[in-house]
Structure formats: C-alpha cells, structure tokens
Amino acid sequence: MNIKLLVVGGCLLTSLLLISCKVFKVPDYKEFRNFKIEKWGFTESTVALDLVYHNPNAYGFKIRESVSEVYIENVYLGKATTDSTIVVAKKSDFVIPIRVKADMKNLFKNAWMTLTRKSVLLKVNGSITAGMGKIYHSFPYTYEGRHEISFGGNGTGKH
C-alpha cells in the first residue's frame, strides 16, 4: 500500500512539474550599438560591437558563451565570440558585447559594394550556451536581416 501511494504521489508530482515548466523563448534581436574597430590588419581586423536583445521569458538566465559565423551580403566576414558571462533578467533588454575577427581579404573584396549601398544584408549562424544554476544547454540560432549603414554616425544600427 505504501508503494502504491509513493508511485501515485510521484506521478502527480512529475505531472505538476511538467505542466509548470515553460518552453524557453529565444530572445528577440533589437539593434546593435557601439560599433568600433579595435585593431586594423592586412589579413585580419577585430571589430567590437554590442548586440541588444529582449528576453521575452518570465525568468532570467545566464549566457556563458556565444560563437557565430558572420556574413555580409552572403560573403564571410569572420567569427564572432563573447568574452564574458552575461546575466539576463526576466522580461528585459540585455546587451551581448561581441568581437568579430574579420577576414580582411573578404572585407576588401566587398568594400566598394558595401560603401555604395544604403543597407546591407547581415546573416549570422551560430550557437549560444545559456542556462540557470548548473544546467546549461547550447542552442543553435540563425539571423538574417537588412540593416541601414552610415559612415560617420554614432555606431548604431537598427533592424
């Protein structure tokens, strides 16, 4: 009889936990800020910028790592990474500072095309490692959007 009660209680507890668990919603991209070139080089340069996102979830989490491949007008620009843990509050905007190691050969190849346009197509493919407590999971993500560009502005760009 005690075993039956234990099994039924365990099933009820498991059911309640499954019902109360919410599905993680991927944060929404809003804009980038603080674009700057940290290092110029003939073969590789480093670009830094802050990506602004909104967390639509009713709970916070931490981002431990983000690694992406960045393309402008379908030409590989470079690899983007984060360099610190980011604490994200529930239902709030947050910033991911990233650095892109840009392949200058590809950048120079498309420089004229990029300079003569008012907007560029940005594509990003990567993964983000996020979680709570000691439980972390890597999520793949892709992004594609057209962005206005301006030279001599304030280093921001909205989608």
- Is residue 9 predicted with pLDDT exceeding 80? no
Of the CATH numbers 2.60.40.1820, 3.60.150.10, 1.20.140.10, 3.30.365.10, which one belongs to the domain with range 24-158?
A: 2.60.40.1820
> pLDDT, tens digit, for every residue of 106-127?
777 666 666 677 777 878 888 8
pLDDT at 60: 92
> pLDDT, tens digit, for every residue of 124-154?
888 888 888 888 888 887 888 887 765 544 4
pLDDT at 8: 44
> pLDDT, tens digit, for every residue of 59-106?
999 999 888 888 878 888 888 888 789 999 999 999 988 888 887 877
In the numeric block, the tokens 């668990």 are attached to 21
pLDDT at 82: 84
> pLDDT, tens digit, for every residue of 23-38?
778 888 888 788 787 8
Choice between 51 and 20, residue whose per-residue pLDDT is larger: 51
pLDDT at 62: 92
Domain spans of the chain, in order of start: 24-158
**pTM for this structure?**
0.66
- Is residue 2 predicted with pLDDT exceeding 70? no
Cα 61 from Cα 136, distance rounded (Å): 10
Residue 143, CA distances (Å) to 7, 58, 77, 106 in order: 46, 23, 15, 20
Choice between 150 and 7, residue whose per-residue pLDDT is larger: 150
Pairing of strands 61-72, 119-132: antiparallel
Question: In angstroms, how far is the first alpha carbon of the chain from the final one?
Answer: 62
Which of 150, 152, 145, 141 lies closest to 80 in space, CA to CA?
Answer: 141
According to DSSP, the residues that pair with 62 across neighbouring strands are 87, 131
pLDDT at 61: 92
In the numeric block, the tokens 């001599």 are attached to 152
